[in-house]
Amino acid sequence: MEKRTLGKGGLEVSAMGLGCMGLSFGYGPAADTKDAIKLIRGAFELGVTFFDTAEAYGPFENEELLGEALEPFRDKVVIATKFGFKNGDSKTGLDSRPERIKEVADAALKRLRTDRIDLFYQHRVDTNVPIEDVAGTVKELIKEGKVKHFGLSEAGVESIRKAHAVQPVAALQSEYSLWWREPEQEIMPTLEELGIGFVPFSPLGKGFLTGAINENTEFDKTDFRNIVPRFSPEARKANQVMVDLMHSIAKQKNATPAQIALAWLLAQKPWIVPIPGTTKLHRLQENIGAVDVLLTADDLKSIEDAAAEIQIEGARYPAHLMQRVGK
Going from the C-alpha of 282 to that of each of 32, 135, 208, 272, 307, the distances in angstroms are: 16, 39, 17, 24, 28
Q: What are the chain's domains?
A: 3-322 (3.20.20.100)
Tell me, what's the pLDDT at 261? 98
Q: Are 40 and 20 in contact (CB under 8 A)?
A: yes
Q: What is the three-class DSSP state of 51?
A: strand
Over residues 232-249, the mean pLDDT reads 96
Q: pLDDT grade, residue 35 (50/70/90)? A: very high
Q: What is the three-class DSSP state of 64?
A: helix
Tell me, what's the pLDDT at 58? 96
Task: Please name the amino acid found at residue 58.
Answer: G
DSSP designation for 72: G
Q: pLDDT grade, residue 237 (50/70/90)? A: very high
For the chain, percent of residues with pLDDT exceeding 90: 100
Q: For residue 121, indicate whether it is catalytic.
A: no
pLDDT tens figures, 146-157 = 999 999 999 999
Tell me, what's the pLDDT at 137? 99
Whole-model pTM over 0.85: yes
Task: Please name the amino acid found at residue 37.
Answer: I
Catalytic residue among 27, 57, 121, 176: 57
Q: pLDDT grade, residue 139 (50/70/90)? A: very high
Tell me, what's the pLDDT at 162? 98
pLDDT tens figures, 269-295 = 999 999 999 999 999 999 999 999 999
DSSP 146-162: SEEEEEEES--HHHHHH
Tell me, what's the pLDDT at 200? 98
Q: Across the chain, what does the average pLDDT equal?
A: 97
Tell me, what's the pLDDT at 118? 98
